[in-house]
């Protein structure tokens, strides 16, 4: 694409990164982090943010050298060739976004239940979960353009709301509550950080827009680093406010809608209601945008022969089949797996993908430049984070570990059958974006 056709400035690129991260994740996983890390919740956000920041370095270098709407898919294929390993990883990425849709849907239902008299009804909860997936699906099928047009305004609203909560609550912060005496164990803090890692997922979407970013050599790195650092700081303050202004027993009792509870000390019941409404809007819009993006990722993968041809069939110039399949699988996961398990699966999946991205950057370091030591540290930290998450949750949430491993097995088996028989690309052909 010629420079004259590039239409996304630095501010626009940064907003893509922030919007991708401050989606539904923070509304969904804040309570889970607090239940493990207790007063060390800000430290858990710090650990997760460090992994995200190191990985953004790899994404920045790769995006400048290989700008493409394929983003993560292109980087993995370029580094490792179009083969069973890269094909499996790309399918894993597609599955990972399905997990985030399920996570947002369960979070939507948790906040919506606070408006019902019988807020423990499992029937109502499943109806709300299903509605959170089906309504955005309908919007994507009827008017996909509405998704992209509305997302900027909704992201701005969420950011403003979170900043307002911090500003009004900061005077009530009791430093004693976040002192080391009230922290969970270091292993639980690290595990909490990895569970909430899904709240940092999203900055990689800048890479999908790299072709359209003005002055990419300058603006892409700034956009990646700035968006991650700003969200990093935002989450640290949210973690501090949450665990230091609310009695722990009250916070843990309402951990599925912890952010709304966090607004009560400073803003009262009105603050609780406003945050709950914002959470509904935020998670709903995140589902909307993720269905929109994942259907298009499926289309790209199908065009490359990495998903069945049905995914690249368009109706009304939209990937309708991809939207429907995305919705059906997400609906199934959201209604059968609980919030903590979905958070673990989502975080583990993206840690796995980001480890591959850091490894891709290391392998391509001669082409893309950058510090080999940062790439090595990023790979080691991503792998360590993933293994820590899996080990720490093996006994308490074996089903989540089982589903994550099943994702990997399904991805590899799919490539070993569909890829080998229909594409025959297992010779390690170098991808040429």
Q: What is the pLDDT of residue 1?
A: 42
Look at residue 149 in the predicted model and tell me its pLDDT: 60
SS3 213: strand
pLDDT of amino acid 145: 56
Q: How far is CA 118 from CA 105, 113, 260, 351, 375, in A?
A: 19, 8, 18, 37, 51
DSSP letter at 246? S
Between 258-303 and 84-112, two packed helices, what is the crossing angle to 10 degrees? 150
346 near 201, Cβ under 8 Å? yes
pLDDT computed for residue 312 by the predictor? 58
Tens-binned pLDDT, residue by residue, of the chain (433 aa)? 444 466 778 888 888 888 778 867 787 788 888 888 888 888 999 999 999 999 999 999 999 999 887 788 889 888 887 777 777 888 888 888 888 889 889 989 989 998 988 777 889 999 999 999 998 888 777 765 555 566 667 777 778 888 888 888 887 777 777 777 778 788 888 888 888 888 888 888 888 888 888 888 999 999 999 999 999 999 998 888 888 888 778 877 887 888 888 888 878 888 888 888 888 887 887 788 788 777 777 767 766 666 666 665 555 455 677 778 888 989 998 998 887 888 888 888 899 999 999 999 999 999 999 999 999 999 999 999 899 888 887 777 788 888 888 888 888 888 777 666 555 544 444 444 5
How many angstroms separate the CA atoms of 272 and 266, rounded? 10
> What is the distance between the alpha carbons of residues 167 and 163, in angstroms, rounded to a whole number?
6
Residue 3's pLDDT is what? 46
- DSSP character for 175? G
- So what's the pLDDT on residue 224? 94
Q: What are phi and psi of 154, to 5 degrees?
A: -70, -40
Q: Report how far apart, in Å, the C-alpha atoms of 81 and of each of 89, 208, 291, 372, 432 are.
A: 12, 19, 28, 21, 9
Residues 374-380: contacts with CB under 8 Å, at least 24 apart: 374/54, 374/57, 375/57, 375/58, 377/54, 378/51, 378/54, 378/55, 378/57, 378/58, 379/355
Phi, psi of 425 (to 5 degrees): -105, 25
Paired tokens of 375: 């790439």
Contact 155, 307 (CB under 8 A): no
Q: Which residue has the tokens 């009304």?
A: 316
Structure tokens at 262: 């966090």
Half-sphere exposure of 181 (CA within 13 A, CB side): 4
Encode burial over 251-264: b for 16+ CB neighbours within 10 A, e otherwise. beebbbbbbbbbbb
- The full set of domains in the chain, from first to last, is 7-423 (1.20.1740.10)
Residues in contact with 208: Cβ distance below 8 Å, sequence separation at least 6, in sequence order: 69, 70, 71, 293
What the block records as the tokens of 152 is 């900027």
pLDDT for res 16: 80
Q: What is the pLDDT of residue 51?
A: 94
Matching residue, tokens 């399920």:
102
Please list the alpha-helical segments (H only) found in 246-338. Answer: 248-253, 258-303, 320-336
Whose CA is closest to 169, among 90, 66, 253, 272?
Answer: 272
b/e map of 9-19 (b: 16 or more CB within 10 Å)?
Answer: ebebbbbbbbb
Residues in the chain: 433
Give dist(CA 19, CA 129) in Å, integer. Answer: 22
Element (H, E) at 420: none
């Amino acid at each position: 694409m010629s420079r004259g056709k590039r239409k996304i400035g630095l501010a626009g690129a940064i907003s893509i990164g922030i919007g991708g991260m401050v989606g539904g994740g923070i509304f969904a996983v804040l309570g889970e982090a607090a239940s493990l890390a207790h007063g060390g919740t800000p430290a858990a956000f710090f650990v997760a943010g460090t992994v995200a920041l190191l990985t953004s370095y790899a994404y920045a270098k790769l995006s400048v050298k290989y700008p493409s709407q394929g983003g993560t898919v292109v980087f993995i294929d370029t580094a490792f060739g179009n083969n069973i390993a890269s094909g499996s990883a790309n399918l894993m990425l597609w599955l990972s976004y399905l997990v985030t849709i399920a996570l947002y849907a369960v979070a939507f239902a948790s906040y919506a239940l606070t408006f019902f008299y019988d807020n423990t009804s499992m029937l109502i909860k499943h109806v709300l979960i299903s509605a959170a997936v089906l309504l955005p699906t309908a919007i994507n099928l009827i008017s996909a353009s509405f998704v992209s047009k509305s997302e900027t305004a909704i992201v701005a609203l969420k950011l403003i709301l979170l900043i307002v909560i911090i500003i009004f609550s900061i005077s009530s912060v009791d430093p004693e509550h976040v002192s080391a005496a009230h922290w969970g164990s270091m292993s639980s803090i690290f595990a909490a950080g990895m569970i909430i890692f899904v709240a940092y997922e999203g900055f990689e979407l800048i890479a999908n827009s790299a072709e359209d970013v003005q002055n990419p050599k300058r603006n892409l790195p700034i956009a990646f680093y700035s968006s991650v650092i700003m969200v990093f700081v935002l989450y640290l303050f949210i973690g501090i406010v949450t665990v230091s202004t609310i009695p722990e027993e009250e916070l843990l009792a309402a951990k599925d809608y912890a952010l709304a509870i966090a607004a009560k000390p400073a803003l009262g019941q009105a603050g609780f209601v406003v945050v709950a409404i914002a959470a509904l809007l935020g998670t709903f819009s995140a589902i909307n945008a993720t269905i929109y993006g994942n259907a298009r990722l499926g289309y790209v993968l199908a065009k490359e022969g990495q998903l069945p041809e049905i995914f690249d069939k368009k109706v009304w110039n939209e990937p309708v089949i991809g939207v429907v399949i995305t919705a059906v699988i997400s609906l199934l996961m959201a209604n059968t797996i609980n919030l903590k398990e979905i958070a673990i699966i989502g975080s583990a999946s993206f840690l796995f993908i980001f480890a591959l991205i850091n490894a891709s950057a290391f392998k391509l370091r001669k082409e893309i430049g950058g510090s080999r030591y940062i790439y090595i540290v990023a790979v080691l930290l991503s792998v360590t984070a993933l293994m820590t998450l899996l080990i720490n949750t093996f006994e308490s949430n074996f089903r989540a570990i089982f589903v994550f491993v099943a994702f990997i097995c399904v991805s590899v088996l799919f490539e070993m059958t569909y890829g080998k028989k229909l594409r025959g690309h297992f010779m390690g052909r170098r991808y040429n974006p």
